[in-house]
Amino acid sequence: MADTIAKKNPISDFMAKRKAEKPPKEPKMSRKEKRERFKKRMECLTPAEQRYLRRKQFTDAVWPVVRALIVFGLCFIILYPLLYMISAAFRPRADMNDPTIMWIPKHVTMSNIKDAIVAMDFWKTLKTTLVLNIGCSLVQVVTTAITGYGFARYKFKGKNILFFVVIMMILVPPQIILIPQYMFFRYFDPFGILGLMGKEAISFIDTGVTMYFPALTANGLRAGLFIYLFRQSFRGLPKELEDAAALDGCSPLTTFVRVMVPNAGATFLTVFLFSIVWYWNDYYVSTSFFIDNQTIALKLKNLDANLTRLIFDGGNVQVNIRELIVWMEAGCLISILPILVLYICLQKNFTEGIARSGLTGM
Amino acid sequence: MKRIHMSYEKKKGLYGYGFVALWFIGALMFFIVPLLQSFYYSFHNVAPEVGEVSVTALVDNLTGEKNIFLNYKTAFMTDPKFRQYLVEVLQDMALSLPVVVVFSLFVAIIINQKFRGRTFARAVFFLPVIIATGPVYAIITGDLETSGNSSAEQFSTMFEADMVDQLLEFVGIYGFGDTFTEMLTTITSDILNLVWKCGIQIIIFLSALQGIPPSAKEAAAIEGATSWEFFWKITLPYISPMIVVNIVYTVIDSFTDPTNEVMGRLLEIQSEWRYGLSAAMAWSYFGIILVVLGIIFAIMNKLVWYDD
């Protein structure tokens, strides 16, 4: 069916004819002929133009080689710790003292990984981290997108002052406001409502509320930066989009969900990735608001102590600093693995789409 | 019921409030009020008590008089480490800021060009963004040092300090070498840190580079600009606003890094329950950040070129 249509199509007919009429290819020139032709062409040019062309020829030949060297070198520097991590995580501790071993261990063992899993109580920790940190980061992406959209697309009184608050959120170090925040959660009584009703303040310390509540109101980790990113990217979309949607009878919320969000895919991806990474690696907030919180970042920070307690029999097994590396690197490996896998899956969209993520245009 | 008639614009404004309302409630609870509260704390004596914290006026022990700036005085005059750390952090900052900005611009320009394996190179360069924020980074660098495999040492031999000195003496410059080589060695021995710190800056520059309109590139090519001229006359003006953004980001990132010494001292004092003092330190620290940023803005504002 498709074929018959294509045959009847006058344009494709025309194209076929033109193809047939195309002159035959010129025979390939030898290198010598080419050089002569280049010389002839050069003679027609002014000296300045000649200089320019020669210089360009030279840089075009040399630069790719230099660039390849630089890129390779820098890539190596970045990958070096990761390669070392993989190499160290799978070698037995004795191999650390063997000076002949640089990269490839003589014996491959899984015991370090197994020990690290036990010491970090990995599966339970992973579950806690997923529920708490990843959940929060997902919630935060949605709420910051809504806020960013409000700042990007609507004019209202006091917008500049409110946006100044957003900028302040980026600037103020979280350590400054930590204690008042702690007091807020410890004696939770928003605007004195509970006090009026004659009830005592509630303590939310050591519950998920301390992380979910800020995320739910677009005030979680680095929320200011995300709001800023979303605002920039929504501002870049054409104004006609929402006017058209409004004429078609979309409410602002439907416009946002069905017209704007699909157009800001790259930004969502970027913020999603950043948000997950920062929540995943966070131990500052979770140590402050929790008495004994078992997230991966925290467990990794305390890996030393836990290893001694659980694997080295409370210090009875002697392990020197060099040998300890194999367990530490194994712990690192299993803690970044989930994020690394996620990054590798999203990597193509992330790196190529980042140009349009609205970071430009201050 | 009478319908209230509103113009389209006015209605849109109300919807705007609707979109930011959720954030505003949160900001009020988790940002604005805590911020003011900590400012208030910094002028008072704050001690934890059962059920609440007690906030009392500051009294100078020596004179017995009230002095609301006592916390600030303690931070700068009495505290043994705060001032020293502050100077160190500022010095580090002044040294590393230009290097970070220039380096990330260089990398961004390279990975903005078309070559085989570009996608892979980009993926690798953004990798530090994923890993470098957490405790993993501390373990990685620590382990590399203890195992003597620190890549930094290996790479710094490439720029052997003596060689630079000798080169300069050969050219006829004596004595200049010391400060210069010192700077060079700090940079080169720190190259791992440098590369790992620049992820976000590279991303910002990359997106700025892609914002340069193709027409400018074509015009430059037709006029016969060399890539050197192209860089100074086309690239740099177009991305100058983003240079400011990057400087601001770098300053804030290094100032608020929980591993830096001032932040460490702050947390130490917090864990000693001296909230008032820690609030005073945090605020003076923040004030210094603002002053630094202000100076940078004042200088950069004259150099930045806007496309409109």
Residue A228's φ and ψ, nearest 5 degrees, are -60, -45
The candidate with the shortest Cα–Cα distance to B218, out of B208, B228, B209, B230, is: B230
**Rounded to whole angstroms, how far apart are CA atoms A215 and A148?**
14
Domain that holds residue B203: 78-303
pLDDT band at A25 (very low <50, low <70, confident <90, very high): low
Is the dihedral angle over the CA atoms A167, A168, A174, A180 positive or is it negative? Answer: negative
* pLDDT tier for residue A264 given thresholds of 50, 70 and 90: confident
Give the gap in angstroms from C-alpha A144 to the nearest C-alpha of chain B. 8
CB contact under 8 A, B270 and A282: no
Q: What φ, ψ does residue A88 adopt, rounded to 5°?
A: -75, -35
Residue B170 tokens read as 């050969």
Express each pLDDT in A284-303 by its tens digit: 777 778 877 788 888 888 88
Q: Does B19 touch chain A (CB under 8 A)?
A: yes
Q: How far apart are CA A98 and CA A88, in angstroms?
A: 12
Where does the pLDDT of residue B159 fall: very low under 50, low under 70, confident under 90, or very high at 90 and above? very low
| pLDDT class of A23 with cuts at 50, 70, 90 | low
Confidence bin at B148 (pLDDT 50/70/90): low
Pick from B13, B134, B279: which is nearest to A156 by CB? B13
Between A188-192, A280-284, B237-241, B291-295, the lowest mean confidence (pLDDT) is in A188-192
How large is the ipTM?
0.76
Q: Determine the distance in angstroms separating the CA of B99 from the nearest CA of chain A, rounded to an integer.
A: 15
Whether residue B22 lies within 8 A of chain A, CB to CB, comes out as: yes
Asked whether residue A201 carries a pLDDT value surpassing 60, the answer given is yes
Q: Quick count: other Cβ atoms within 10 Å of Cβ A177?
A: 24
Tell me: the pLDDT tens digits for A39-96? 887 788 888 888 888 888 888 888 889 889 888 888 887 888 888 888 888 888 777 7
Residue A82 tokens read as 């990761």
Looking up residue B238, the CATH number of its domain turns out to be: 1.10.3720.10
Q: Please give the single-letter amino acid code of residue B31.
A: F
Could you read off the pLDDT of B62-98 as tens digits, one per residue?
Answer: 666 777 778 888 778 877 788 888 888 888 888 888 8
Tell me whether residue B240 is in a domain: yes
Q: What is the DSSP string of B33-96?
A: HHHHHHHHHTTEEEEE-SSSEEEEE-B-TTT--B-TTHHHHIIIII-TTHHHHHHHHHHHHHHH
Using the Cβ of A302 and the Cβ atoms of chain B, whether some distance falls under 8 Å is answered with no
**CA–CA–CA angle A121, A126, A132 (5° rounding):** 125
Average pLDDT, chain A: 80
CB–CB contact B286 A96 (8 Å): no
Q: pLDDT band for position A147 (50/70/90)? A: very high
In chain A, domain spans: 31-89, 121-301
pLDDT at res. B187: 63
Sign of the C-alpha dihedral computed for residues B181, B185, B188 and B194 taken in this order: negative
Residue B259, chain A, CB below 8 Å: the answer is no
For residue B155, CA distances in Å to A78, B116, B184, B192 come to: 13, 26, 12, 9
Confidence band for A145, pLDDT divided at 50, 70 and 90: very high
| Chain B residues in contact with A75 (beta carbon < 8 A) | 120-121, 124-125
SS3 sequence of chain A:
CHHHHHHHCHHHHHHHHHHHHCCCCCCCCCHHHHHHHHHHHHHCCCHHHHHHHHHHHHHHHHHHHHHHHHHHHHHHHHHHHHHHHHHHHCCCHHHHHCCCCCCCCCCCCCHHHHHHHHHHCHHHHHHHHHHHHHHHHHHHHHHHHHHHHHHHHCCCCCHHHHHHHHHHHHHCCCCCCHHHHHHHHHCECHHHHHHHCCCCCECCCCCCHHHHHHHHCCCCCCHHHHHHHHHHHHHCCCCHHHHHHHHCCCCHHHHHHHHHHHHCHHHHHHHHHHHHHHHHHCCHHHHHHCCCCCCHHHHHHCHHHHHHHHCCCCCCCCCCHHHHHHHHHHHHHHHHHHHHHHHHHHHHHHHHHHHHCCCCCC
Residue B276: inside a domain, yes or no?
yes
- Mean pLDDT for the stretch of residues A151-170: 89
Assign a CATH topology to domain A121-301: MetI-like fold (1.10.3720)
Are the C-beta atoms of B134 and B166 separated by less than 8 Å? no
Nearest residue of A to residue B145, measured between CA atoms: A322
- A-chain residues within 8 Å CB-CB of B258? 175, 284
pLDDT computed for residue B308 by the predictor: 53
Q: Which two tokens stand for residue A186?
A: 């410890």
CB contact under 8 A, A332 and B18: no
pLDDT at B172 over 80: no
The residue of chain B nearest to residue A335, with distances taken between CA atoms, is B136
At residue B292, does pLDDT exceed 80?
Answer: yes
Taking 90 as the threshold, does the pLDDT of residue A141 lie above it?
A: yes
Number of domains chain B contains: 1
The predicted structure's pLDDT at residue A274: 84
> Is some CB atom of chain B closer than 8 A to the CB atom of A64?
yes
Q: Decide which of A333 and A24 is more confident.
A: A333
Choice between B161 and B96, residue whose per-residue pLDDT is larger: B96
pLDDT of residue A76: 84
Q: Measured between CB atoms, does B103 come within 8 Å of chain A?
A: no
Which A residues 227-256 touch B at CB under 8 Å? 227, 246, 252, 256
Distance CA A328, CA B144 (A): 11
For residue range B124-141, what is the model confidence (pLDDT) as tens digits? 888 887 776 667 777 777
B34: tokens are: 């805590």
